[in-house]
Amino acid sequence: MDLKMNLGDAAIDAVMGYAVVFLGIALLVLVVVLMGRVMSRKKPAPAAPAAERQPVPTPAPVPAGPAAPGTAGDLKLYGTPDRDAAMIMAIVADELKIPLNELRFISIREVNKK
């Protein structure tokens, strides 16, 4: 089909091509969204309920050395080094746009995801 085209045919092909790309992509979006739904349904319920159901006794919380900076002094760290804790608090304060000394952190626990 290596022939000169008339402009009408070219316009139709162009519009149709663009529409096919959108249609293909729209169907693919549908597939990906469905995949996401199916996958997320398989995931265990996160955080709080999981903690409640967990029968395995967790070791008694042991404050990891001195309290992290910027807290009232009662922050408990579980498996989190001071340096990481300081960074987390700084990020939270920045995101919330609240000065660090106006925030109160109770505890920071590392959650291991498998």
Partner 1 sequence: MNNILETLKKLWMESGFMGFFETGGWKSLIMIVVALALLYLGIRKKFEPLLLVGIAFGTLLTNLPGAGLYHMAMWDAYVYECPYDAANEAILYDVEEERVLSVEEYMASLPEDAEEPEIIEKLSFTDIAHIGGLLDILYIGVKAGIYPCLIFIGVGAMTDFGPLIANPKSFFLGAAAQFGVFFAFFGAVLLGFTGNQAAAIGIIGGADGPTAILTCMLLAPALLGPIAIAAYSYMALIPMIQPPIMRALTTEKERSVKMEQLREVSKTEKVVFPILTAGFVILLLPSTAPLIGCLMFGNLLRETGVTERLSDVAQNALMNIVTLFLGISVGATTVAARFLTVNTLKIVLLGLIAFCFSTVGGLLVGKLMYKLSGGKINPLIGAAGVSAVPMAARVAQVEGQKANPSNFLLMHAMGPNVAGVIGSAIAAGFLIKVFGA
| Stretch of 33-41, 48-56, 69-77, 80-88 contacting partner 1, by CB under 8 A | 33-41
Rounded to 5°, angle at Cα 86 from 82 and 87: 120
CA distance 59 to 36: 36
User: Exposure pattern of 23-57 as b/e (b: 16+ CB <10 Å)?
Assistant: eeeeeeeeeeeeeeeeeeeeeeeeeeeeeeeeeee
- Determine if 46 is a binding residue for partner 1 (CB under 8 A): no
Nearer to partner 1, 32 or 50 (CB): 32
Nearer to partner 1, 1 or 60 (CB): 1
Dig out the tokens for 37 from the structure: 């739904």
- Determine if 72 is a binding residue for partner 1 (CB under 8 A): no
- Determine if 17 is a binding residue for partner 1 (CB under 8 A): yes
- Determine if 10 is a binding residue for partner 1 (CB under 8 A): yes
Footprint of partner 1 on this chain (CB under 8 A)?
1-5, 7, 9-11, 13-15, 17-18, 20-22, 24-29, 31-33, 35-36, 39, 42-43
